[in-house]
Amino acid sequence: MTTSAATLRLVRPALADVPLRGPGAPVALDASQAAVVDRVAAGADPAVLVLGAPGSGRTTVVLESVVAAIEAGLAPEDVLVLAASRRAAADLRDRVSARLRRTSGRALVQTAPAAAFAVLRARASALGEPAPTLVSGAEQDLLLGELLAGHAEGDGVDLGWPAHIPADAWTLRAFRDELRDLLMRAAERGLTPADLADLGVAHDRPAWVSAARLYEEYLDVNELRASTPDVGARFDPAVVVDEAARALLAWDDDVPGVPRPRWRLVVVDDHQESTAATARLLRVLADDGARLLLVGDPDVAVQTFRGASPALVARASVLGRGPGELGATTLVLDATWRHGPVLRDVVTRITERVGASGAVAHRRATLPARSTGTRASRSCRAPRRRRPSSRTPCAARTSRTASPGRTWRSSPAPACTSPRCAGRCRRPRCLSACSAATSRSVRNRPYALCSTRCAWPWAPRR
């Protein structure tokens, strides 16, 4: 704020500065990242799926794509970014605001339930109804706790818990958490208490039958709380996304003349954490004209206990109307920026044990050029030494078996220093992901591929 004798001028404080270092700092995009951003800015693809290993810059691509799309002409209000958690949404929201240096009429980065709830609130307002309520996890826990405590004191009907769930367990927080997860997964799939009980009988899970009885009570209490005219509808987080999808589909009939919430670009970071309900909402938004950018890595899903379905990542590239099918063009990020060679090696070893859920191309990501020398020597577990020059005989430096006098083919060639490589590695350097370099089963095959993750053929033996 500045003052003078005659005038008083209010000056808006500057938006948060773009950090110069660390997460959020602008980076020079690599070729695979730039390809995504250019495609999104061009706006020709109805849907783009980006696969990227951990630290490959998926969130960076989301950020830069949003900035590029807005610079190419979209209004910030036309863009919706869905993040996997409230914390991730808040972090990305700050980064986007810092890059755009402008504000938006509605929150640009949200979780899927928050975006869905905003749709339902807009609908209630258009209909002149009281604002709805999003039931929080803490509130759900309280309600279930009250119901269970009542049953522990002998109130109401006997829920008939199986013998291995004694009454003492009902009061435990961990038990309520498990129960809440079960009920919310049922809600997400549109199962009524009767459906859940039927599934319990069909699959011989008596606990599901008991939980179904409690679910019925839970729904009754929720309905009761919303039954006075001054209170709006109450939505569990597990159903709010589907409710919003339904509200959007029926919008023109329910609230004619009121424009429906609409976005021209919808971006999902960490699509591996999306639920089936989020996929249904994306389908409705895409049918309404939104372009989609879905970014994810099915190997690193952590919210499956909350209904995340990592298989949706691979399905997004399928053209069709089935669950999660969005006909997306697939692009792959091919370098990992966050991890050094050791961590990358660990990630590679772990992910190769994770069952593939349809998408594996991102597992081939390598470290950017500046760190490959370290990576090569460490991943080969050979002592670090000066790299041989391009004309250095292989046998002299790295191999026990290759004939003296052989030279490295590529120039300049940071040679593989693994004693096991024996000079057969045609790639100028050892790949951390190249399990064949150490695998007995394929090591001696003349033309075998290193592995599915490393498409470089071995050189023929000479």
Phi, psi angle pair for 400, to nearest 5°: -85, -25
What are the C-alpha distances in Å from 248 to residues 74, 120, 280, 324?
Answer: 22, 9, 11, 18
Q: Which of 11-19, 27-35, 117-125, 454-462 is the region at the interface with ligand ATP (rule: CB under 6 A)? A: 27-35
* Cβ count near 148 (within 10 Å): 22
Q: Quickly count helices (H) and strands (E) in the chain.
A: 17, 12
Q: Which of 57-65, 68-76, 153-161, 453-461 is the region at the interface with Mg ion (rule: CB under 5 A)? A: 57-65
- C-beta of 50: minimal distance to ligand ATP in Å? 10
CB 76 within 8 A of CB 102: yes
Q: 418 contacts which partner out of Mg ion, ligand ATP, none, CB within 5 to 8 A by kind?
A: none
- C-beta of 84: minimal distance to Mg ion in Å? 9
Binds ligand ATP by CB under 6 A, chosen from 41, 51, 54, 69 = 54
248 or 331: CB nearest Mg ion: 331
Per-residue tokens: 283: 């389908």
| E strand or H helix that includes residue 125 | helix 112-127
- C-beta of 346: minimal distance to ligand ATP in Å? 14
Q: Is the dihedral of CA 129, 131, 134, 135 positive or negative?
A: negative
Q: 60 contacts which partner out of Mg ion, ligand ATP, none, CB within 5 to 8 A by kind?
A: ligand ATP
Q: Which of 54-62, 236-244, 283-291, 372-380 is the region at the interface with Mg ion (rule: CB under 5 A)? A: 54-62
19 or 162: CB nearest ligand ATP: 19
DSSP state of 103: -
Q: What is the rounded CA–CA span in Å between residue 202 and residue 112?
A: 32
Q: Where are the beta strands (DSSP E) in 223-298?
A: 234-235, 265-268, 291-296
186 or 293: CB nearest ligand ATP: 293
Restricting to residues 304-343, which ones interact with ligand ATP according to CB under 6 A?
337-338
DSSP assignment of 431-458? -TT-GGGG-HHHHT-SS-EEETTEEEEP
247 or 268: CB nearest Mg ion: 268
Using rule CB under 5 A, residue 58 touches Mg ion: yes
Per-residue tokens: 13: 């404080």
Q: How many residues bind ligand ATP (CB under 6 A)?
A: 17
- The CA dihedral of 149, 154, 160, 164, to the nearest 10 degrees, is 60
259 or 368: CB nearest ligand ATP: 368
- C-beta of 293: minimal distance to ligand ATP in Å? 13
Binds ligand ATP by CB under 6 A, chosen from 57, 261, 341, 423 = 57
Q: What is the rounded CA–CA span in Å between residue 23 and residue 37?
A: 18
**Nearest residue by C-beta to Mg ion?**
59
33 or 398: CB nearest ligand ATP: 33
Q: 250 contacts which partner out of Mg ion, ligand ATP, none, CB within 5 to 8 A by kind?
A: none
Per-residue tokens: 231: 């209170």
Phi, psi angle pair for 450, to nearest 5°: -50, -50
Q: Which of 47-55, 196-204, 245-253, 390-398 is the region at the interface with ligand ATP (rule: CB under 6 A)? A: 47-55
Using rule CB under 6 A, residue 354 touches ligand ATP: no
Q: Which of 19-27, 154-162, 347-355, 388-396 is the region at the interface with ligand ATP (rule: CB under 6 A)? A: 19-27
Tell me: cis bond preceding 419? Omega within 30 of 0 counts.
no
Phi, psi angle pair for 208, to nearest 5°: -65, -35
What does the binding site for Mg ion look like in residue numbers (CB under 5 A)?
58-59
**Site residues, ligand ATP (CB under 6 A):** 23, 25, 27-30, 33, 52, 54-60, 337-338
